[in-house]
C-alpha cells in the first residue's frame, strides 16, 4: 500500500468540455481533489454539476464530442519491485494498451444503471468471465470459477446457478451486486461508484452501501462515490467534494462539511435534507432557482444567481478560487477571501 499521506490518485485543474453546434459545454471546469487508499471520497452536487463527467474523464471514456482540455490526472501505484510508479492518465491515448489495462484493471467503474450496462443477449456470467480474461491469462474454466467466487463474495445466493442467468432475470439489487462483482474482477485499487443506489428501494440501498464498506475494509479499496444524496455521503464518505456547474466549490473531511459547511451551496444542500425531528407537514427547504443553462453560464461565481449571500459587484463579476478555511478544508467563496 502507498504511504498513508500519499494519494493514490490526484486530479488537478481538470477541464473537460463538450464541443457542440450550439456552443461549448464546460462540463468540468477546473476540478481538483485527491483520492487515498482505504478511504472514500464523496463527490456531491445536483444533476448537471459535472460529477459523472469527472469520473468518465478519469477513465478516459468521455463521449466523442467531448475532450479533456487541460489539467492532469496522476495515478500512483506500486511496481513489482516495490517502487512507486506514477502515470499521467491525460497523457495516455484513450485507446492505448496501457490505458485499457488501467481502465477496468486498476480503476473500475460501477455504472449508474446496471440494466443498461449489461448485454441482454449474454448471461451475466459470460460478461464477468470476459472482463476477467481481459485482464488476466486465466483459462475459461478458471475464469468461470473466479466469477462464481466473486458472485458469492458480493452476497448473491446460489452463484453456481445465477452465473448462467441474464440480467433481465435478476432484481435491481442483484443486478447491482453483479455489477460490483464485475468491477472487482481484476482486483482494482480504485472503485468509482456512480450513483450506485439509484432506483433501489431503501433496504436494498442499505445492503449495497454495507457491501461496499465491507469490500473496502477487506481489500483496502479507494472509493470515489458519486451521488446527489447527502445522506449517503454522511454514511459512506471520509472526504467530500461539493461540485457546482463543473467547479469544486468546497472540499474537506466529511465531519467538517456536515458540521461546519462554509459555501452557501453546501449549506443549502444540507438544509434540504429531510429530518426525522422536523414537525409533520413542514415544508422542506429548497434551493431557489435552477442550475444555469450550460450554454449561458453566468459571469463571476457560478452560484451567484441563486445565492442569498451575494456580494454585488464582486460575486457577479469575478470568479472565486478555492481558499483554505481550516485543516484540509477549502472553499471557493468571496465571503472567505482575505
pLDDT in tens, 194-220: 988 877 788 888 888 999 999 999 989
Residue-level pLDDT at 294 = 80
Q: What is the mean pLDDT of residues 91-115?
A: 88
CA–CA dist 143, 29 (Å, integer): 41
Instruction: Tally DSSP H helices, then E strands, for the chain.
Output: 11, 12
Provide the mean pLDDT of the chain: 90
| pLDDT above 70: residue 2 | no
Report the alpha-carbon distance of residue 282 to residue 234 in Å, rounded. 23
Angle at 325 between CA 265 and CA 235, to 5 degrees: 55
**Given a cut of 50, is residue 229 above it in pLDDT?**
yes
Share above pLDDT 70 across residues of the chain, in percent, rounded to a whole number: 96
Tell whether the model's pLDDT for residue 176 goes beyond 80.
yes
- Assess whether pLDDT exceeds 80 at residue 281: no
58-77 pLDDT tens trace? 999 998 899 999 999 999 98
> Of 101-105, 130-134, 264-268, 270-274, where does mean pLDDT reach its minimum?
270-274
How confident is residue 278, by pLDDT bands cut at 50, 70 and 90? low
What average pLDDT does range 29-56 have in this prediction? 94
Whether 323 and 332 have beta carbons less than 8 Å apart is answered as: yes
Using pLDDT thresholds of 50, 70 and 90, give the confidence band for residue 145: very high
Long-range residue pairs from 83-86, CB within 8 A, at least 24 positions apart, any chain: 84/2, 84/6
For 261-284, letters b (16+ CB in 10 Å) and e give: bbbbbbebbeeeeeeeeeeeeeee
User: For residue 80, what pLDDT is reported?
Assistant: 65
Mean pLDDT of 322-333: 94
pLDDT the model gives residue 338: 59
- pLDDT of 303 above 70: yes
Would the pLDDT of 4 be above 70? no
> Residue 265: which of 277, 283, 253, 247 has the closest Cα?
247
Cα radius of gyration rounded to whole Å, the chain: 21
Q: What pLDDT, in 10s, does the model give residues 32-41?
A: 999 999 999 9
Q: What is the DSSP string of 241-262?
A: EEEETTEEEEEEEHHHHHHS--
Instruction: Tell me: pLDDT of 189 over 80.
Output: yes
The label of the residue with cell 455489477 reads: 179
Residue whose C-alpha cell reads 477487506 in the numeric block: 218
* 0.75 surpassed by pTM: yes
Residue 290 or residue 16, greater confidence: 16
With 0-12 / 13-18 / 19 or more C-beta atoms within 10 angstroms meaning exposed / middle / buried, residue 289 is exposed
What number of CA atoms fall less than 13 Å from residue 266's CA on the CB side?
A: 27
Q: What is the pLDDT of residue 92?
A: 94
Tell me the pLDDT tens digit for each residue of 256-276. 999 999 999 999 999 887 776
Amino acid at each position: 500500500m502507498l504511504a498513508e499521506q500519499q494519494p493514490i490518485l490526484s486530479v488537478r485543474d481538470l477541464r473537460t468540455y463538450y464541443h457542440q453546434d450550439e456552443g461549448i459545454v464546460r462540463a468540468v471546469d477546473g476540478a481538483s481533489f485527491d483520492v487515498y487508499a482505504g478511504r472514500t471520497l464523496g463527490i456531491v452536487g445536483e444533476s448537471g454539476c459535472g460529477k459523472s463527467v469527472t469520473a468518465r474523464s478519469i477513465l478516459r471514456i468521455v463521449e466523442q464530442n467531448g475532450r479533456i482540455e487541460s489539467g492532469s490526472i496522476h495515478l500512483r501505484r506500486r511496481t513489482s519491485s516495490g517502487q512507486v510508479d506514477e502515470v499521467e492518465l491525460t497523457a495516455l491515448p484513450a485507446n492505448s494498451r496501457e490505458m485499457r489495462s488501467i481502465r477496468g484493471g486498476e480503476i473500475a467503474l460501477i455504472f449508474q444503471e446496471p440494466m443498461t450496462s449489461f448485454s441482454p443477449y449474454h448471461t451475466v456470467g459470460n460478461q464477468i468471465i470476459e472482463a476477467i480474461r481481459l485482464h488476466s491469462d486465466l483459462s475459461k474454466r478458471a475464469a468461470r470459477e473466479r466469477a462464481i467466487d466473486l458472485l458469492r463474495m458480493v452476497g448473491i445466493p446460489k452463484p453456481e446457478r445465477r452465473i448462467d442467468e441474464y440480467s433481465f432475470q435478476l432484481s435491481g439489487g442483484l443486478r447491482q451486486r453483479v455489477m460490483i462483482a464485475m468491477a472487482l474482477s481484476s482486483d482494482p485499487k480504485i472503485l468509482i461508484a456512480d450513483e450506485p443506489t439509484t432506483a433501489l428501494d431503501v433496504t436494498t440501498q442499505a445492503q449495497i452501501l454495507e457491501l461496499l464498506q465491507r469490500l473496502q475494509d477487506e481489500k483496502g479499496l479507494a472509493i470515489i462515490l458519486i451521488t446527489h444524496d447527502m445522506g449517503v455521503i454522511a454514511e459512506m464518505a471520509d472526504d467530500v467534494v461539493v461540485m457546482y456547474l463543473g467547479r469544486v466549490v468546497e472540499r474537506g473531511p466529511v465531519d467538517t462539511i456536515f458540521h461546519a459547511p462554509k459555501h452557501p451551496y453546501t449549506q443549502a444542500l444540507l438544509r434540504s435534507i429531510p429530518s426525522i425531528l422536523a414537525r409533520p407537514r413542514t415544508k422542506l427547504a429548497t434551493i431557489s432557482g435552477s442550475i444555469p443553462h450550460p450554454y449561458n453560464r453566468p459571469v463571476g461565481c457560478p452560484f451567484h444567481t441563486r445565492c442569498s449571500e451575494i456580494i454585488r459587484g464582486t460575486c457577479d463579476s469575478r470568479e472565486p478560487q478555492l481558499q483554505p478555511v481550516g485543516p484540509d478544508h477549502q472553499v471557493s467563496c468571496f465571503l472567505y477571501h482575505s
